[in-house]
A and B are shown apart, each in its own frame.
Chain A
Amino acid sequence: MTPEDVFTVIVGHTREVVPGLDDHAFQFTDSLRELGANSIDRSEVVMLTLESLSLKAPMIEFAKAENMGELATLLHARL
Protein backbone atom coordinates (compact mmCIF):
# COMPACT_ATOMS: atom_id res chain seq x y z
CA MET A 1 0.00 0.00 0.00
CA THR A 2 1.35 3.42 -0.98
CA PRO A 3 0.77 6.77 0.72
CA GLU A 4 -1.56 7.54 -2.21
CA ASP A 5 -3.63 4.47 -1.33
CA VAL A 6 -3.85 5.63 2.29
CA PHE A 7 -4.85 9.08 1.05
CA THR A 8 -7.68 7.51 -0.96
CA VAL A 9 -8.93 5.75 2.19
CA ILE A 10 -8.85 9.06 4.10
CA VAL A 11 -10.75 10.79 1.28
CA GLY A 12 -13.46 8.10 1.38
CA HIS A 13 -13.99 8.52 5.10
CA THR A 14 -13.87 12.32 4.86
CA ARG A 15 -16.72 12.21 2.34
CA GLU A 16 -18.57 9.91 4.70
CA VAL A 17 -18.17 12.21 7.71
CA VAL A 18 -18.22 15.74 6.27
CA PRO A 19 -21.28 16.64 4.22
CA GLY A 20 -21.08 18.36 0.83
CA LEU A 21 -17.73 17.04 -0.39
CA ASP A 22 -18.98 14.51 -2.92
CA ASP A 23 -17.68 16.51 -5.87
CA HIS A 24 -14.61 17.98 -4.22
CA ALA A 25 -11.29 17.16 -5.93
CA PHE A 26 -9.11 16.30 -2.94
CA GLN A 27 -5.45 17.35 -2.86
CA PHE A 28 -2.67 16.33 -0.47
CA THR A 29 -2.60 19.96 0.67
CA ASP A 30 -6.27 19.99 1.71
CA SER A 31 -6.86 20.62 5.40
CA LEU A 32 -9.70 18.70 7.05
CA ARG A 33 -10.39 21.72 9.22
CA GLU A 34 -10.68 24.03 6.22
CA LEU A 35 -12.98 21.51 4.53
CA GLY A 36 -15.41 21.98 7.41
CA ALA A 37 -14.49 19.08 9.69
CA ASN A 38 -14.73 19.99 13.36
CA SER A 39 -12.54 18.31 15.97
CA ILE A 40 -14.98 15.44 16.44
CA ASP A 41 -15.29 14.93 12.68
CA ARG A 42 -11.50 14.89 12.36
CA SER A 43 -11.06 12.33 15.10
CA GLU A 44 -13.70 10.20 13.47
CA VAL A 45 -12.02 10.37 10.04
CA VAL A 46 -8.76 9.24 11.64
CA MET A 47 -10.44 6.45 13.59
CA LEU A 48 -12.35 5.15 10.57
CA THR A 49 -9.11 5.19 8.58
CA LEU A 50 -7.24 3.33 11.32
CA GLU A 51 -9.99 0.71 11.31
CA SER A 52 -9.93 0.38 7.51
CA LEU A 53 -6.16 -0.08 7.64
CA SER A 54 -6.37 -2.43 10.66
CA LEU A 55 -3.78 -0.17 12.21
CA LYS A 56 -3.75 -0.11 16.00
CA ALA A 57 -1.96 3.14 16.82
CA PRO A 58 -2.71 5.96 19.26
CA MET A 59 -4.70 8.76 17.63
CA ILE A 60 -2.47 11.37 19.26
CA GLU A 61 0.32 10.42 16.84
CA PHE A 62 -1.66 11.85 13.96
CA ALA A 63 -2.77 15.11 15.55
CA LYS A 64 0.31 16.94 14.27
CA ALA A 65 -0.61 16.42 10.60
CA GLU A 66 -1.13 19.82 8.99
CA ASN A 67 -3.01 18.50 5.99
CA MET A 68 -4.46 15.32 4.51
CA GLY A 69 -1.23 14.48 2.69
CA GLU A 70 0.76 14.62 5.92
CA LEU A 71 -1.87 12.50 7.61
CA ALA A 72 -1.56 9.91 4.84
CA THR A 73 2.22 9.93 5.17
CA LEU A 74 2.13 9.52 8.96
CA LEU A 75 -0.37 6.68 8.72
CA HIS A 76 1.57 5.00 5.94
CA ALA A 77 4.71 5.13 8.05
CA ARG A 78 2.97 3.04 10.74
CA LEU A 79 1.80 0.29 8.39
Chain B
Amino acid sequence: MRTAEPTPIVVSGIGVTASIGQGRREFTDALLAGEHRFATMRRPGRQKPGAADDDAAAFIGAEIADLRVPDAIAAAKLRNLSWSAQVALATVHEAWEDAGLDAVDPRRIGLIVGGSNIQQRELALIQAKYRDQVEFLRPTHAMTFMDTDLCGVCSEVFGIRGLAITVGGASASGQLAAIQAIEAVRSGQVDVCIALGALMDLSFFECQAFRSLGAMGSDRFAREPGRACRPFDRDRDGFIFGEACGAIVVRRASDATRTPYAELKGWAMAWDANRNPNPSLEGETSAIRAALAMAGLPAEAIDYVNPHGTASTLGDETELAALRACGLDRAYLNATKSLVGHALSAAGMVELIAVMLQMQARRLHPSRNLDNPIDADLRWVGANGADHAIERALNMSMGFGGINTAICLQRG
Protein backbone atom coordinates (compact mmCIF):
# COMPACT_ATOMS: atom_id res chain seq x y z
CA MET B 1 0.00 0.00 0.00
CA ARG B 2 1.36 3.39 -0.95
CA THR B 3 1.48 6.04 1.71
CA ALA B 4 0.74 9.71 1.50
CA GLU B 5 3.30 12.08 0.00
CA PRO B 6 5.24 13.87 2.76
CA THR B 7 5.12 17.06 0.70
CA PRO B 8 1.46 17.71 0.09
CA ILE B 9 0.23 18.01 -3.48
CA VAL B 10 -2.28 20.80 -4.03
CA VAL B 11 -4.46 22.37 -6.69
CA SER B 12 -3.44 25.98 -7.29
CA GLY B 13 -5.36 26.82 -10.44
CA ILE B 14 -8.71 26.00 -12.00
CA GLY B 15 -10.29 26.55 -15.39
CA VAL B 16 -13.73 25.32 -16.35
CA THR B 17 -16.09 25.57 -19.29
CA ALA B 18 -19.52 23.95 -19.31
CA SER B 19 -22.99 24.48 -20.69
CA ILE B 20 -24.08 26.29 -17.53
CA GLY B 21 -21.16 28.70 -17.52
CA GLN B 22 -17.63 29.51 -18.58
CA GLY B 23 -15.08 30.38 -15.95
CA ARG B 24 -14.98 29.68 -12.23
CA ARG B 25 -17.34 32.45 -11.16
CA GLU B 26 -20.03 31.87 -13.77
CA PHE B 27 -19.83 28.11 -13.35
CA THR B 28 -20.00 28.31 -9.54
CA ASP B 29 -22.96 30.69 -9.60
CA ALA B 30 -24.85 28.45 -12.02
CA LEU B 31 -23.93 25.33 -10.06
CA LEU B 32 -25.16 26.74 -6.77
CA ALA B 33 -28.31 28.07 -8.42
CA GLY B 34 -29.05 24.61 -9.84
CA GLU B 35 -29.15 25.81 -13.44
CA HIS B 36 -29.16 23.58 -16.51
CA ARG B 37 -29.13 23.87 -20.32
CA PHE B 38 -30.60 20.54 -21.35
CA ALA B 39 -32.36 20.74 -24.70
CA THR B 40 -32.49 19.06 -28.07
CA MET B 41 -28.88 19.31 -29.24
CA ARG B 42 -28.24 21.71 -32.14
CA ARG B 43 -24.52 21.65 -32.84
CA PRO B 44 -23.98 20.48 -36.44
CA GLY B 45 -23.42 16.74 -36.57
CA ARG B 46 -25.22 15.95 -33.31
CA GLN B 47 -28.51 14.80 -34.81
CA LYS B 48 -29.14 12.14 -37.40
CA PRO B 49 -29.31 13.70 -40.88
CA GLY B 50 -32.83 14.75 -41.71
CA ALA B 51 -34.03 14.50 -38.11
CA ALA B 52 -36.67 17.12 -37.36
CA ASP B 53 -36.44 19.39 -34.33
CA ASP B 54 -39.57 17.88 -32.82
CA ASP B 55 -38.42 14.33 -33.44
CA ALA B 56 -39.00 12.35 -30.26
CA ALA B 57 -35.85 10.38 -31.07
CA ALA B 58 -33.70 13.54 -31.25
CA PHE B 59 -30.72 13.45 -28.94
CA ILE B 60 -30.95 15.53 -25.79
CA GLY B 61 -27.92 17.13 -24.21
CA ALA B 62 -26.41 20.27 -22.74
CA GLU B 63 -24.28 22.30 -25.15
CA ILE B 64 -21.98 25.27 -24.58
CA ALA B 65 -23.74 28.33 -26.01
CA ASP B 66 -20.95 30.79 -26.72
CA LEU B 67 -17.28 30.14 -26.09
CA ARG B 68 -15.31 33.22 -25.13
CA VAL B 69 -11.70 32.91 -26.20
CA PRO B 70 -9.32 35.22 -24.30
CA ASP B 71 -7.77 38.08 -26.31
CA ALA B 72 -4.36 36.71 -25.35
CA ILE B 73 -4.97 33.78 -27.70
CA ALA B 74 -4.54 35.18 -31.21
CA ALA B 75 -7.32 34.46 -33.64
CA ALA B 76 -4.77 32.96 -36.03
CA LYS B 77 -4.07 30.24 -33.47
CA LEU B 78 -7.68 29.15 -33.64
CA ARG B 79 -7.60 28.24 -37.32
CA ASN B 80 -8.11 24.57 -38.02
CA LEU B 81 -8.81 23.80 -34.40
CA SER B 82 -11.44 21.27 -33.46
CA TRP B 83 -14.19 22.30 -31.06
CA SER B 84 -12.49 20.22 -28.34
CA ALA B 85 -9.21 22.08 -28.94
CA GLN B 86 -10.82 25.53 -28.86
CA VAL B 87 -12.55 24.79 -25.57
CA ALA B 88 -9.33 23.29 -24.18
CA LEU B 89 -7.38 26.46 -25.01
CA ALA B 90 -9.89 28.74 -23.31
CA THR B 91 -10.08 26.46 -20.27
CA VAL B 92 -6.33 25.96 -19.85
CA HIS B 93 -5.86 29.72 -20.21
CA GLU B 94 -8.07 30.32 -17.18
CA ALA B 95 -6.22 27.74 -15.09
CA TRP B 96 -2.84 29.06 -16.27
CA GLU B 97 -3.67 32.64 -15.26
CA ASP B 98 -5.19 31.51 -11.98
CA ALA B 99 -2.01 29.68 -10.99
CA GLY B 100 0.35 32.37 -12.31
CA LEU B 101 2.28 29.95 -14.51
CA ASP B 102 4.01 32.67 -16.53
CA ALA B 103 6.46 32.79 -13.60
CA VAL B 104 7.39 29.09 -13.91
CA ASP B 105 10.18 27.66 -16.08
CA PRO B 106 8.26 26.19 -19.06
CA ARG B 107 10.59 23.16 -19.06
CA ARG B 108 9.19 22.30 -15.63
CA ILE B 109 5.53 22.53 -16.66
CA GLY B 110 3.60 19.51 -17.90
CA LEU B 111 0.21 18.88 -19.46
CA ILE B 112 -1.83 15.69 -19.24
CA VAL B 113 -4.87 15.64 -21.51
CA GLY B 114 -7.55 13.21 -20.37
CA GLY B 115 -9.60 11.63 -23.14
CA SER B 116 -9.39 9.44 -26.22
CA ASN B 117 -11.28 9.71 -29.51
CA ILE B 118 -12.61 13.04 -28.38
CA GLN B 119 -13.20 14.71 -31.77
CA GLN B 120 -15.78 12.37 -33.25
CA ARG B 121 -18.22 15.04 -34.42
CA GLU B 122 -15.48 16.97 -36.24
CA LEU B 123 -14.35 13.79 -37.95
CA ALA B 124 -17.90 12.90 -38.98
CA LEU B 125 -18.41 16.37 -40.48
CA ILE B 126 -15.12 16.25 -42.37
CA GLN B 127 -15.80 12.78 -43.69
CA ALA B 128 -19.27 13.81 -44.85
CA LYS B 129 -17.94 16.93 -46.55
CA TYR B 130 -15.06 15.27 -48.36
CA ARG B 131 -16.48 11.83 -49.06
CA ASP B 132 -16.90 12.65 -52.76
CA GLN B 133 -14.07 15.14 -53.08
CA VAL B 134 -11.29 13.71 -51.00
CA GLU B 135 -8.75 15.45 -53.24
CA PHE B 136 -9.58 18.70 -51.46
CA LEU B 137 -9.20 17.39 -47.93
CA ARG B 138 -7.19 19.89 -45.87
CA PRO B 139 -3.56 18.81 -45.42
CA THR B 140 -3.86 19.87 -41.78
CA HIS B 141 -6.33 17.04 -41.19
CA ALA B 142 -3.24 14.86 -40.82
CA MET B 143 -2.50 16.75 -37.60
CA THR B 144 -5.93 17.64 -36.31
CA PHE B 145 -7.56 14.21 -36.44
CA MET B 146 -5.33 13.04 -33.59
CA ASP B 147 -6.30 13.71 -29.98
CA THR B 148 -2.68 14.66 -29.36
CA ASP B 149 -3.33 17.78 -31.43
CA LEU B 150 -4.66 19.21 -28.15
CA CYS B 151 -1.22 18.62 -26.61
CA GLY B 152 0.45 20.34 -29.57
CA VAL B 153 -1.95 23.27 -29.61
CA CYS B 154 -1.87 23.93 -25.87
CA SER B 155 1.88 23.42 -25.52
CA GLU B 156 2.53 25.83 -28.40
CA VAL B 157 0.18 28.54 -27.16
CA PHE B 158 1.40 28.36 -23.55
CA GLY B 159 5.00 27.37 -24.22
CA ILE B 160 4.79 24.13 -22.23
CA ARG B 161 8.01 22.13 -22.61
CA GLY B 162 8.10 19.68 -19.69
CA LEU B 163 5.57 17.07 -20.80
CA ALA B 164 2.46 16.97 -23.01
CA ILE B 165 0.60 13.70 -23.46
CA THR B 166 -2.89 12.23 -23.55
CA VAL B 167 -4.27 9.50 -21.31
CA GLY B 168 -7.45 7.53 -21.89
CA GLY B 169 -9.80 5.95 -19.40
CA ALA B 170 -13.23 6.37 -21.01
CA SER B 171 -15.47 8.29 -18.58
CA ALA B 172 -12.74 8.20 -15.93
CA SER B 173 -10.29 10.02 -18.23
CA GLY B 174 -10.61 13.35 -16.39
CA GLN B 175 -9.70 11.81 -13.05
CA LEU B 176 -7.06 9.70 -14.71
CA ALA B 177 -5.47 12.90 -16.04
CA ALA B 178 -5.54 14.38 -12.54
CA ILE B 179 -3.90 11.28 -11.08
CA GLN B 180 -1.22 11.17 -13.77
CA ALA B 181 -0.52 14.88 -13.23
CA ILE B 182 -0.15 14.28 -9.50
CA GLU B 183 2.24 11.41 -10.19
CA ALA B 184 4.27 13.53 -12.62
CA VAL B 185 4.77 16.18 -9.93
CA ARG B 186 5.36 13.63 -7.19
CA SER B 187 8.02 11.82 -9.19
CA GLY B 188 9.82 15.07 -10.00
CA GLN B 189 9.25 14.73 -13.74
CA VAL B 190 7.86 18.27 -13.66
CA ASP B 191 7.26 20.86 -10.93
CA VAL B 192 3.83 21.87 -12.13
CA CYS B 193 1.35 19.84 -14.13
CA ILE B 194 -1.88 20.88 -15.78
CA ALA B 195 -4.48 18.13 -15.94
CA LEU B 196 -7.16 18.64 -18.55
CA GLY B 197 -10.44 16.79 -18.90
CA ALA B 198 -10.99 17.30 -22.62
CA LEU B 199 -14.37 18.02 -24.14
CA MET B 200 -15.77 14.85 -25.67
CA ASP B 201 -17.33 15.97 -28.94
CA LEU B 202 -19.86 13.28 -29.76
CA SER B 203 -21.37 12.92 -33.22
CA PHE B 204 -24.78 11.42 -33.84
CA PHE B 205 -23.05 8.10 -34.50
CA GLU B 206 -21.83 7.81 -30.89
CA CYS B 207 -25.13 9.18 -29.55
CA GLN B 208 -26.99 6.53 -31.52
CA ALA B 209 -24.67 3.79 -30.27
CA PHE B 210 -24.96 4.93 -26.66
CA ARG B 211 -28.75 4.96 -27.02
CA SER B 212 -28.81 1.52 -28.62
CA LEU B 213 -26.59 0.20 -25.85
CA GLY B 214 -29.05 1.53 -23.29
CA ALA B 215 -26.43 3.80 -21.75
CA MET B 216 -27.83 7.12 -22.97
CA GLY B 217 -31.38 8.29 -22.06
CA SER B 218 -34.02 9.40 -22.65
CA ASP B 219 -36.94 7.50 -24.03
CA ARG B 220 -38.92 8.44 -20.99
CA PHE B 221 -38.45 12.22 -21.18
CA ALA B 222 -37.96 12.75 -24.91
CA ARG B 223 -40.35 15.71 -24.90
CA GLU B 224 -39.12 17.14 -21.60
CA PRO B 225 -35.35 17.68 -21.86
CA GLY B 226 -35.23 19.45 -18.51
CA ARG B 227 -36.42 16.30 -16.76
CA ALA B 228 -34.30 13.79 -18.66
CA CYS B 229 -31.07 13.96 -16.65
CA ARG B 230 -31.84 12.44 -13.25
CA PRO B 231 -28.99 10.56 -11.57
CA PHE B 232 -29.99 8.37 -8.63
CA ASP B 233 -33.71 9.00 -9.21
CA ARG B 234 -36.10 6.09 -9.60
CA ASP B 235 -37.24 7.40 -13.02
CA ARG B 236 -33.74 7.67 -14.54
CA ASP B 237 -33.21 5.95 -17.87
CA GLY B 238 -29.58 6.60 -18.75
CA PHE B 239 -27.04 9.39 -18.98
CA ILE B 240 -27.63 12.67 -20.78
CA PHE B 241 -24.61 14.09 -22.59
CA GLY B 242 -23.15 17.46 -21.62
CA GLU B 243 -20.34 19.42 -23.24
CA ALA B 244 -17.72 20.44 -20.71
CA CYS B 245 -14.01 20.81 -20.14
CA GLY B 246 -11.99 21.37 -17.01
CA ALA B 247 -8.37 22.02 -16.12
CA ILE B 248 -6.50 22.05 -12.82
CA VAL B 249 -2.96 23.03 -11.98
CA VAL B 250 -1.25 20.56 -9.67
CA ARG B 251 1.96 21.31 -7.75
CA ARG B 252 3.68 20.77 -4.43
CA ALA B 253 2.21 22.79 -1.57
CA SER B 254 5.69 24.18 -0.88
CA ASP B 255 5.81 25.67 -4.40
CA ALA B 256 2.32 27.16 -4.43
CA THR B 257 2.19 30.93 -4.61
CA ARG B 258 -1.43 31.22 -3.58
CA THR B 259 -3.78 29.58 -1.12
CA PRO B 260 -4.60 26.29 -2.78
CA TYR B 261 -8.13 25.21 -3.55
CA ALA B 262 -7.50 21.83 -1.99
CA GLU B 263 -4.89 19.33 -0.99
CA LEU B 264 -5.02 16.07 -2.92
CA LYS B 265 -4.71 13.61 -0.05
CA GLY B 266 -5.21 10.26 -1.70
CA TRP B 267 -5.95 8.76 -5.07
CA ALA B 268 -6.41 5.32 -6.50
CA MET B 269 -7.25 3.40 -9.64
CA ALA B 270 -8.69 -0.10 -9.88
CA TRP B 271 -9.45 -2.23 -12.90
CA ASP B 272 -12.10 -4.92 -13.24
CA ALA B 273 -10.58 -7.04 -16.02
CA ASN B 274 -13.79 -6.33 -17.93
CA ARG B 275 -14.13 -4.93 -21.43
CA ASN B 276 -17.84 -4.18 -21.01
CA PRO B 277 -19.75 -1.19 -19.63
CA ASN B 278 -21.14 -2.95 -16.55
CA PRO B 279 -20.00 -1.65 -13.15
CA SER B 280 -18.18 -3.63 -10.49
CA LEU B 281 -18.85 -3.28 -6.78
CA GLU B 282 -15.49 -4.88 -6.10
CA GLY B 283 -13.64 -2.45 -8.37
CA GLU B 284 -15.38 0.60 -6.96
CA THR B 285 -14.89 -0.34 -3.33
CA SER B 286 -11.29 -1.22 -4.04
CA ALA B 287 -10.62 2.26 -5.51
CA ILE B 288 -12.42 4.04 -2.66
CA ARG B 289 -10.64 2.08 0.07
CA ALA B 290 -7.23 2.55 -1.51
CA ALA B 291 -7.76 6.30 -1.89
CA LEU B 292 -8.88 6.62 1.74
CA ALA B 293 -5.94 4.53 2.93
CA MET B 294 -3.49 6.64 1.00
CA ALA B 295 -5.04 9.77 2.47
CA GLY B 296 -4.77 8.20 5.92
CA LEU B 297 -8.43 8.95 6.51
CA PRO B 298 -11.22 6.82 7.96
CA ALA B 299 -14.46 6.84 5.95
CA GLU B 300 -16.21 8.87 8.63
CA ALA B 301 -13.76 11.74 8.06
CA ILE B 302 -15.29 12.30 4.61
CA ASP B 303 -18.14 14.78 4.88
CA TYR B 304 -19.01 15.06 1.18
CA VAL B 305 -19.01 12.65 -1.75
CA ASN B 306 -19.23 13.72 -5.36
CA PRO B 307 -20.20 10.46 -7.05
CA HIS B 308 -19.90 9.44 -10.67
CA GLY B 309 -23.72 9.17 -10.86
CA THR B 310 -24.49 8.99 -14.56
CA ALA B 311 -28.16 7.93 -14.17
CA SER B 312 -27.34 4.48 -15.44
CA THR B 313 -29.79 1.96 -14.01
CA LEU B 314 -27.24 -0.48 -12.69
CA GLY B 315 -24.34 1.97 -12.35
CA ASP B 316 -26.09 4.26 -9.88
CA GLU B 317 -27.21 1.35 -7.71
CA THR B 318 -23.76 -0.20 -7.69
CA GLU B 319 -22.12 3.08 -6.79
CA LEU B 320 -24.40 3.66 -3.81
CA ALA B 321 -23.79 0.09 -2.69
CA ALA B 322 -20.05 0.78 -2.89
CA LEU B 323 -20.40 3.93 -0.80
CA ARG B 324 -22.36 2.04 1.84
CA ALA B 325 -19.89 -0.85 1.80
CA CYS B 326 -17.06 1.62 2.43
CA GLY B 327 -18.84 3.35 5.32
CA LEU B 328 -19.54 6.55 3.39
CA ASP B 329 -23.27 6.58 4.05
CA ARG B 330 -23.08 9.58 6.41
CA ALA B 331 -21.50 12.03 3.97
CA TYR B 332 -23.46 14.62 1.99
CA LEU B 333 -24.10 13.57 -1.59
CA ASN B 334 -25.25 15.44 -4.69
CA ALA B 335 -25.12 14.85 -8.44
CA THR B 336 -23.15 17.33 -10.54
CA LYS B 337 -24.23 15.54 -13.72
CA SER B 338 -27.85 16.50 -12.98
CA LEU B 339 -26.80 20.09 -13.84
CA VAL B 340 -24.08 19.74 -16.50
CA GLY B 341 -24.83 16.31 -17.96
CA HIS B 342 -22.30 13.56 -18.53
CA ALA B 343 -19.17 15.07 -20.05
CA LEU B 344 -17.61 11.61 -20.53
CA SER B 345 -13.85 12.27 -20.90
CA ALA B 346 -14.18 15.55 -18.97
CA ALA B 347 -16.65 14.33 -16.35
CA GLY B 348 -14.14 13.34 -13.67
CA MET B 349 -12.27 16.62 -14.01
CA VAL B 350 -15.34 18.87 -14.05
CA GLU B 351 -16.69 17.09 -10.98
CA LEU B 352 -13.35 17.37 -9.17
CA ILE B 353 -13.52 21.09 -9.90
CA ALA B 354 -17.13 21.20 -8.70
CA VAL B 355 -15.96 19.74 -5.39
CA MET B 356 -13.32 22.45 -4.92
CA LEU B 357 -15.61 25.30 -5.95
CA GLN B 358 -18.24 24.08 -3.49
CA MET B 359 -15.50 23.92 -0.83
CA GLN B 360 -14.66 27.51 -1.56
CA ALA B 361 -18.32 28.61 -1.58
CA ARG B 362 -19.06 26.68 1.63
CA ARG B 363 -22.24 25.53 -0.01
CA LEU B 364 -23.40 22.37 -1.74
CA HIS B 365 -25.13 22.61 -5.09
CA PRO B 366 -28.62 21.23 -5.63
CA SER B 367 -29.33 17.94 -7.38
CA ARG B 368 -31.92 18.35 -10.12
CA ASN B 369 -34.67 15.82 -10.76
CA LEU B 370 -33.86 13.83 -7.66
CA ASP B 371 -37.55 13.41 -6.89
CA ASN B 372 -37.37 9.85 -5.55
CA PRO B 373 -33.82 8.81 -4.66
CA ILE B 374 -33.15 5.11 -5.10
CA ASP B 375 -31.64 5.03 -1.62
CA ALA B 376 -33.57 7.68 0.28
CA ASP B 377 -31.71 7.14 3.55
CA LEU B 378 -28.48 8.62 2.24
CA ARG B 379 -27.70 12.25 2.97
CA TRP B 380 -28.81 13.72 -0.36
CA VAL B 381 -28.60 17.39 -1.21
CA GLY B 382 -31.91 17.89 -2.96
CA ALA B 383 -33.46 20.65 -5.01
CA ASN B 384 -32.48 23.48 -2.69
CA GLY B 385 -28.77 22.97 -2.10
CA ALA B 386 -27.34 23.25 1.41
CA ASP B 387 -24.94 25.37 3.40
CA HIS B 388 -21.99 23.21 4.31
CA ALA B 389 -18.27 23.88 4.52
CA ILE B 390 -16.71 20.75 3.02
CA GLU B 391 -13.58 19.70 4.90
CA ARG B 392 -12.74 16.38 3.24
CA ALA B 393 -14.35 15.04 0.11
CA LEU B 394 -14.26 11.96 -2.06
CA ASN B 395 -14.79 12.12 -5.81
CA MET B 396 -15.31 9.03 -7.96
CA SER B 397 -15.21 8.16 -11.64
CA MET B 398 -15.88 4.98 -13.56
CA GLY B 399 -15.40 4.19 -17.22
CA PHE B 400 -16.30 1.57 -19.80
CA GLY B 401 -13.68 -1.12 -19.93
CA GLY B 402 -13.56 -1.65 -16.18
CA ILE B 403 -11.74 1.41 -14.84
CA ASN B 404 -12.54 2.88 -11.42
CA THR B 405 -10.86 5.92 -9.90
CA ALA B 406 -11.23 7.82 -6.63
CA ILE B 407 -9.61 10.98 -5.27
CA CYS B 408 -9.71 12.32 -1.69
CA LEU B 409 -9.46 16.08 -1.25
CA GLN B 410 -9.05 18.22 1.81
CA ARG B 411 -9.84 21.91 2.06
CA GLY B 412 -6.77 23.97 1.13
Residues in A lying within 8 Å of B, measured CB to CB: 16-17, 19-20, 40, 43-44, 47-48, 50-51, 56, 59
Contacts and interface: CB of A to CB of B under 8 A. Distances in A.
Interface string B60-88: 00000000000000111001100000000
Contacts of B76: 19-20
Contact of B136 (A16, A17, A43, A50): A50
B138 A44 contact: yes
Contact of B135 (A20, A44, A56): A56
12 contacts: A17-B79, A19-B74, A19-B76, A20-B76, A40-B143, A44-B80, A44-B139, A47-B137, A47-B139, A50-B135, A56-B133, A56-B135
A47 B74 contact: no
A19 B79 CA distance: 10
B257 interface: no
B187 interface: no
Contacts of B139: 40, 43-44, 47, 59
Nearest to B130: A51
Interface residues of B, number: 13
Contacts of A56: 133, 135-136
Contact of A19 (B75, B80, B138): B75
A40 B135 contact: no
Contacts of A59: 139
Interface of B: 74-76, 79-80, 133, 135-140, 143
A51 to B, nearest CB: 4
B296 to A, nearest CB: 51
A19 B143 CA distance: 20
Contacts of A47: 136-139
Contacts of B80: 44
Nearest to A50: B136
Nearest to A16: B79
Nearest to B143: A40
Instruction: Give the 4 A-B residue pairs with the shortest CB-CB distance, closest first.
Output: A19-B76, A51-B136, A43-B139, A56-B135
A50 B134 CA distance: 12
B73 to A, nearest CB: 12
A50 B133 CA distance: 11
Given A40-B139, A44-B138, A44-B139, 10 more contacts: A16-B79, A19-B74, A40-B143, A43-B139, A47-B137, A50-B135, A51-B133, A51-B136, A56-B135, A59-B139
Contacts of B138: 44, 47-48
B140 A44 contact: yes
Nearest to B134: A56
Given A17-B79, A56-B135, A40 B74 contact: no
B152 to A, nearest CB: 12
Contact of B140 (A16, A40, A51): A40
Contacts of B75: 19
A19 B136 CA distance: 22
Nearest to B74: A19
Nearest to A18: B76
Nearest to B136: A51
A56 B74 CA distance: 33
Nearest to B79: A17
B71 to A, nearest CB: 14
A43 B75 CA distance: 20
Among B74, B79, B80, B133, the most chain A Cβ lie within 10 Å of the Cβ of B79
B83 to A, nearest CB: 19
A47 B140 CA distance: 10
A17 B76 CA distance: 8
A50 to B, nearest CB: 6
A63 to B, nearest CB: 12
B72 to A, nearest CB: 15
Among A16, A19, A20, A50, the most chain B Cβ lie within 10 Å of the Cβ of A19
B354 to A, nearest CB: 37
Contacts of B143: 40
A16 B139 CA distance: 15
B81 to A, nearest CB: 14
A25 to B, nearest CB: 20
B157 to A, nearest CB: 14
Contacts of A17: 79
A65 B79 CA distance: 25
A51 B137 CA distance: 9
